[in-house]
Structures are given as structure tokens and as C-alpha cells.
DNA sequence: TAGTGGTCTAGACCACGTG
DNA sequence: ACGTGGTCTAGACCACTAT
């Protein structure tokens, strides 16, 4: 008696959407033949009332055991993320409307909405009322300053100009390899550059990238490219930085650094070690920056 | 004809909730006598269907002019925030359930839910499934590390022990007064302390608090109190830190600092200037910390 | 068993942007 | 006029917690 549900509703409520994209809606024998089902008795349909749902517990071995079952909207979110990752919708493009996605996934618009809400909160997509939902991109003023926290003490923030000192392929140092989750000795691209604001050298950076993902990255490509480096990575190499983790310390300038930043030896500098991640929390960049904080500061909001 | 709506619905849809707390539900003459109302004709109630709403435009002077009207859930959010601020519900206590608040405000549970969702995202309240929604408090391990970003390079983070060098009342320096949004020369409480991890002095901090809010704060109170300083502020002085803004620089230890942190003169230190805010974005603390990053680092997540 | 937050649905209307 | 996201409602059921 407990399984008198409409098949469509059943599929929306119990189906694990992460398996097939166009799965037909038929009750799985697994859950149908399950003996001790949870107390999910669907009463009479109350005359065309709102949605009626069955249990979401997949395999009811015991009521206390809780296997890895996530809410529907989380599954939708994963599916959308997967499409973003695979490049089905490219940065800057519009993704299908909520109504269309709801139809595609056989769920209500509200469920799709909740999934997209979270993706929007994570800056993977950007919602624009009246227009649509768009894949986030680093080619926007909006997204620039998420990964650039060094602000001038006075005046508006403006982009620095880069001078590349070194761009080469090399074997990854052990520490870098560890952070990039690759084998020590695997090929990496190494970049060393100085950034200046209004002619004043301020940032000395060393960057390591996995050689497999960034094959073909040369000094020319970097010099030609206008705009943020992450924009280049996104457009030319199909790798989008999603989030990053930074460890900040204070350190004193040694002779080499002193010469490149035009400061005395021993000058106190901010040392920022960053590991950036793309989809699936995969690390794809290690960066060590030395910031001269004479006229700039690292801005951080605690909330 | 356009105003044939149930009064309850009318109140929920058009009333500006920010005025009275226990307003009765009767159509305000203001909106009722309004001549050119927007095209908000409510059709037949469609036999007990879902909600039917009127316009939310308060004074329909012209359709193009857009006065400051916020969505219902934002108004609810403001009302709840106001109750938090006034101390109607104290830190650690449970706030009324969603159903009760929905009844009190004459809106649907979903609307209250959305308001609380945002308050939860801003860490003003904490939701606990099956138990209720609780006013956030600094007396929790969970909330501790939001305002403590200095982590040991190895091992688990653990609380430091404080030694208070100075606790006194003084006239606020111009810069501090500016940041606290008080008059230069107004009374402030000044605190100077050194914090040590495992006996190693690591943090030298100077803190300025508005004298009016923290009257009676003495070295004894600070020494007696176990737990985070913000917990003391919250419990003893009724001031809860909601968010903070930090500017981070590198600086060299001078002689005074060198002695207090047991490091050579000129050692590179992190300089962290923090302004903390309570409700209504009111600044209530200025703090300048010097961090020794020999065995610690400032951890920051960019997302 | 009762109460709370968490998920899901279906449908209405609004605000915005574009043709 | 139409399509998009944004708001709001009403109601159902689930998961969790406490009594």
C-alpha cells in the first residue's frame, strides 16, 4: 500500500540523478522489493494538492545506517557543475533557463533554483535578472579582485603591469609537486615576474603550473595577452580557477629580492603562498608572492 | 474591483512591516484611496489555489520612479535583526520557530525561511535541524576561528594565553577616533597585551574600544575571564562583533617590540590593523596586532 | 509523540531586459 | 509581448531531536 505513487513523482523523489542523464522513470526493483521500508506511507492524494513524495532513502537496510544520499537539489547542483566542468557551457555563456533545466531534470523550478543559488554563492555562475544565468568568467572587473587583495593605501585599485623575468619548463620541486598533487619530478611550467604600480616595482611572484595542463604556455603568450592571467588560463588552456587558499607570512628581502624590488636588503615584505583550485578541488597552481607594503596593503574581510 | 482581496493577504503583500510590530491587518487608507494603482488586478481566487497577491508598489506616483521598497523577506530580516540587536533574544538562546514567526509577521513560512537563511549565511544565527534556530555567540569553538586567522604551521590550532601589559582609559588618538566614528579626544579603553603559544610570545596587540560602551572594563575583568575576549564583550558588555575588516602589512620590529616578542630588532612581522563592527555596521573596536610568523601563518581562503 | 528545521512541489505574480 | 530571474504562497513530507 505504501508504494501507490505516480511514477513521475516517484522518479523525482527517489531516483538518483547522478547516474544517467536521460533515465526513464520506472520504480527500481531494488527499492520496490525492499522489505522494511521506512514509514513513508503516502496518504490519499488530497484532491489535486501539491506534490506527493515517496521516501528518499535508497536502500533501507536499517533506519540508523545513513548511506551517502544527498537532497535532490544537491544532485542537480552536481549535474550542473559537471556540465560547467566539461565545457558544455563555456565561461561567459548563458546556461539554460531554470524552467528548461527543471524540465530536463524532471524536478520543480524551485529545486533547480536552490541548486543554482548555491552555485551563484560559490561564484561559479552569475545570475542576471531578466537576462539569464551565466557561467562566471575571469574576464570581468567583478571577478578580478577576488584573487587580488593587494590594495593601494590611497586611491582606486588599478591593474599592475607585469615584467616576465623567466618562463620555462622544469621538473617540479618536491614541495610544489606535493601541493599540486603530482609526482615529484613531473614537468611544471615556472613563471617569475615583477609587477609594478605606476612604475614602482611592488610584487615579485613565482608561479608553478602543471606541465600537462599548460603545455604551450610561453613568455610570448603571456606578454601578448592583455588582461588578468587567470583570464588567459581560462580562455587558452580551459582551466578555470575556482578558489584559492593563501598562507601569509612576513619575511625580509634578501639580496636577489632587494635588487628586483629596488628596496634595501632586510626590508620587511609580505610573503603570500597561494594554492589555487579548479573543479573537484583539484590544485592547479602554486604561487609565491612577495609584496612590498610601503604604499599598499592586503585587504581582508572577516565575516 | 481591483481591491477585492482578503485583508490578510493584503496586509502581507503591501504592508511595510518596518513600522509597527503588532499592526492589525486592515487596508491602509493611503493605499486604498490611491487613484492610479498599478495593474494589480486580482482575478478570481481560482478555487482555493495558492497565494493571491496585490501590488507591492507602495505609493504609485509613477511606474518609473522606484522608491526604496525591499522584498518582504528583507523586511522580515530587518525585523529579526532588530530583535537580535535589542537583546530580545540573547546570544545562545533559541529564537521563535519559523512557524511562529510566520504567524507573527503574517507571512508564509517560506518567506521567514528565506530571511533566516540570509541571517544564517551572515553568521548572525545558527540553524540546528530538529532543535531550532539560535542566536550566534562567540562562546563556541565554531565561531572562534572566524576572527583568529593565525594558525600554527604544524599541529592543531589552540588558544593562546594572554598577558596584559596595560589596560587604561585615555583620550582616543585622532586616527583611532576616526575609525571608531567618534570625536577625537573622546574617552576610549586602551588594552595592550602579549599572547604566547606554548610559552613563545607571538602576538603583540593594541586594542582601542569606545569608552561609552565598555565602561568598567579593567585588567582584573580581563584576567579573570576564561575564553575569547569577544565572548567577554558579548556577555558582559552586550556588544557583539559581527564582522571585521583587516589591512595587513609587513613591518620590522623596533626596540620596544623586539623586547616584548623576544626577537631581534628589525625582525619582519605581520602588521594587522582590524576594525570590528557590530549591528548596523557600527565600528566598535580598533586593533593593531604584530604577529611573529616564525612558526605561524595567517590563513586566508579566497572564494 | 510532538516540534523543529530541511526538502520539494505547483502555481501565481512581479521586476527586469530585449525585441 | 515575451522570456528571464526574483518573490511569495500553501501545503506536503522528511530528518532530526527531545520528551
For B253, name the nearest residue in chain A, comparing CA atoms only: A268
Residues A288-301 have pLDDT tens digits of 999 999 999 999 99
Across all residues in chain B, what is the average pLDDT? Answer: 83
Q: Which residues of A touch B302 (CB under 8 A)?
A: 146-147, 149, 243-246, 274
- Least Cα distance to A288 among B35, B166, B297, B109 occurs for B297
The pTM of the whole model exceeds 0.75 = yes
Cβ of B245 within 8 Å of Cβ of A297? The answer is no
Contact B185, B261 (CB under 8 A): no
Q: Which residues of A touch B266 (CB under 8 A)?
A: 252, 266
Query: Given A243, A247, A300, which is nearest B246 (Cβ)?
Result: A300
Helices (H) and strands (E) in chain A, counts: 10, 11
For chain A, report the end-to-end CA distance as a whole number of angstroms: 51
Q: What's the mean pLDDT in A76-99?
A: 98
pLDDT value at position A67? Answer: 55
* Three-state SS at A34: coil
Q: What's the mean pLDDT in B4-17?
A: 38
- CA B213, B216, B217, B222: dihedral to nearest 10 degrees? -140
Q: Does A281 touch chain B (CB under 8 A)?
A: no
For chain B, report the end-to-end CA distance as a whole number of angstroms: 52
Strand D positions within 7 A of protein Cβ atoms: 3-18
Over 50: is that where the pLDDT of A41 sits?
A: no
pLDDT value at position B142? Answer: 82
Q: What's the rounded Cα separation, in Å, for the pair A183 and A226?
A: 33
pLDDT value at position A144? Answer: 79
Q: What's the rounded Cα separation, in Å, for the pair A42 and B32?
A: 45
Helix (H) / strand (E) element for B196: namely strand B187-197
Q: Which residues of A touch B252 (CB under 8 A)?
A: 252, 266-268
Cβ of A249 within 8 Å of Cβ of B123? The answer is no
Q: Higher pLDDT residue, B231 or B51?
A: B231
Three-point CA angle B151, B155, B158, nearest 5°: 60
The cell numbers describing A164, all together, are: 616576465
| pLDDT band at residue B237 under the 50/70/90 scheme | very high
Q: Higher pLDDT residue, B25 or B271?
A: B271
Q: What's the rounded Cα separation, in Å, for the pair A155 and B302?
A: 23
Q: What's the mean pLDDT in A194-201?
A: 96
The cell numbers describing B136, all together, are: 550566534
Helix (H) / strand (E) element for B100: namely helix B98-105
Q: What's the rounded Cα separation, in Å, for the pair A27 and A8?
A: 10
| pLDDT band at residue A16 under the 50/70/90 scheme | low
- Residues of chain B with pLDDT > 70, as a percent, come to 78
Closest Cα of chain B to A299: distance in Å?
Answer: 5
Q: Higher pLDDT residue, B62 or B132?
A: B132
| pLDDT band at residue A141 under the 50/70/90 scheme | confident
Q: Which residues of B touch A147 (CB under 8 A)?
A: 302
| pLDDT band at residue A131 under the 50/70/90 scheme | very high
User: Nearest CA to the C1' of C7 belongs to which residue?
Assistant: A71
pLDDT value at position A161? Answer: 92
- Residues of chain A with pLDDT > 70, as a percent, come to 78
A56 touches strand D (CB under 7 A): yes
B71 touches strand D (CB under 7 A): yes
- Least Cα distance to A145 among A155, A133, A159, A127 occurs for A159
Quick one: B241 exposed, middle or buried, by C-beta within 10 A (0-12, 13-18, 19+)? buried
Of the listed ranges B36-50, B228-242, B272-286, the least confidently predicted one is: B36-50
| pLDDT band at residue A50 under the 50/70/90 scheme | very low
Neighbours of A195 (CB within 10 A): 18
Half-sphere exposure of A269 (CA within 13 A, CB side): 27
Helix (H) / strand (E) element for B231: namely helix B229-237
Closest Cα of chain A to B171: distance in Å?
Answer: 26
Q: What's the mean pLDDT in B109-132?
A: 98
pLDDT value at position A142? Answer: 82
Q: What's the mean pLDDT in A65-91?
A: 89
Neighbours of A187 (CB within 10 A): 14
Q: Higher pLDDT residue, A81 or A27?
A: A81
pLDDT value at position B141? Answer: 83
Closest Cα of chain A to B145: distance in Å?
Answer: 10
pLDDT value at position B67? Answer: 56
Count of residues in chain A: 303
User: Nearest CA to the C1' of C17 belongs to which residue?
Assistant: A130
Residues B31-85 have pLDDT tens digits of 333 333 333 333 333 333 333 343 343 333 333 334 567 999 999 999 999 999 9
Nucleotide nearest to A57 (CA to C1'): D14
Cβ of B247 within 8 Å of Cβ of A297? The answer is yes
pLDDT value at position B123? Answer: 97
Over 80: is that where the pLDDT of A97 sits?
A: yes
Instruction: Tell me the CA–C1' distance in angstroms for B174 and C10.
Output: 60
pLDDT value at position B21? Answer: 35
Of the listed ranges A26-40, A154-168, A173-187, B171-185, the least confidently predicted one is: A26-40
Give the mutation candidate from A202, A246, A302 for the B interface (greatest B CB count, under 10 A). Answer: A302
Q: What's the rounded Cα separation, in Å, for the pair A10 and B9?
A: 34
**H-state helical runs in chain A:** 7-14, 29-32, 72-86, 98-105, 109-121, 141-144, 174-180, 219-224, 229-237, 255-261
Contacting residues for A289 by C-beta, under 8 A, at least 6 apart: A203, A204, A205, A206, A270, A271, A272, A273, A274
Contact B245, B253 (CB under 8 A): no
User: Nearest CA to the C1' of C16 belongs to which residue?
Assistant: A130
How far does Cα B19 stand from its chain's mean position?
22
Cβ of A270 within 8 Å of Cβ of B250? The answer is yes
Contacting residues 129-168/A vs strand D (CB within 7 A): 129-133
Q: What's the rounded Cα separation, in Å, for the pair A32 and A59?
A: 10
A125 touches strand D (CB under 7 A): no
Amino acid at each position: 500500500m505504501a508504494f501507490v505513487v505516480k511514477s513521475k513523482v516517484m522518479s523525482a523523489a527517489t531516483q538518483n540523478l547522478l547516474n544517467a542523464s536521460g533515465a526513464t522513470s520506472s520504480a527500481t526493483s531494488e527499492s520496490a522489493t525492499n522489505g522494511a521500508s521506512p514509514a513513508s506511507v503516502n496518504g490519499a492524494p488530497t484532491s489535486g494538492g501539491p506534490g506527493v513524495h515517496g521516501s528518499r532513502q535508497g536502500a533501507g537496510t536499517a533506519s540508523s545506517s545513513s548511506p551517502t544520499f544527498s537532497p535532490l537539489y544537491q544532485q542537480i547542483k552536481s549535474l550542473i557543475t559537471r556540465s560547467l566542468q566539461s565545457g558544455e557551457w563555456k565561461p561567459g555563456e548563458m546556461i539554460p533557463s531554470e524552467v528548461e533545466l527543471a524540465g530536463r531534470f524532471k524536478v520543480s523550478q524551485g529545486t533547480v533554483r536552490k541548486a543554482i543559488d548555491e552555485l551563484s554563492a560559490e561564484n561559479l555562475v552569475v545570475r542576471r535578472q531578466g537576462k539569464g544565468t551565466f557561467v562566471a568568467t575571469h574576464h570581468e572587473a567583478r571577478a578580478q579582485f577576488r584573487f587580488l587583495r593587494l590594495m593601494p593605501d590611497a586611491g582606486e585599485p588599478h591593474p599592475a603591469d607585469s615584467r616576465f623575468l623567466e618562463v620555462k619548463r622544469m621538473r617540479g620541486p618536491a614541495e610544489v609537486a606535493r601541493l599540486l598533487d603530482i609526482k615529484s619530478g613531473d614537468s611544471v611550467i615556472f613563471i617569475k615576474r615583477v609587477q609594478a604600480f605606476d612604475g614602482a616595482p611592488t610584487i615579485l611572484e613565482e608561479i608553478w603550473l602543471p606541465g600537462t595542463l599548460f603545455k604551450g604556455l610561453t613568455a610570448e603568450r603571456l606578454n601578448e595577452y592583455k588582461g588578468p592571467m587567470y583570464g588567459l588560463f581560462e580562455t587558452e588552456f580551459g582551466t578555470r580557477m575556482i578558489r584559492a587558499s593563501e598562507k601569509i607570512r612576513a619575511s625580509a628581502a634578501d639580496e636577489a629580492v632587494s635588487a628586483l624590488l629596488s628596496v634595501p636588503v632586510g626590508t620587511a615584505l609580505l610573503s603570500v603562498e597561494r594554492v589555487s583550485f579548479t573543479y573537484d578541488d583539484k590544485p592547479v597552481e602554486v604561487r609565491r608572492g612577495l609584496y612590498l607594503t610601503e604604499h599598499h596593503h592586503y585587504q581582508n574581510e572577516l565575516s
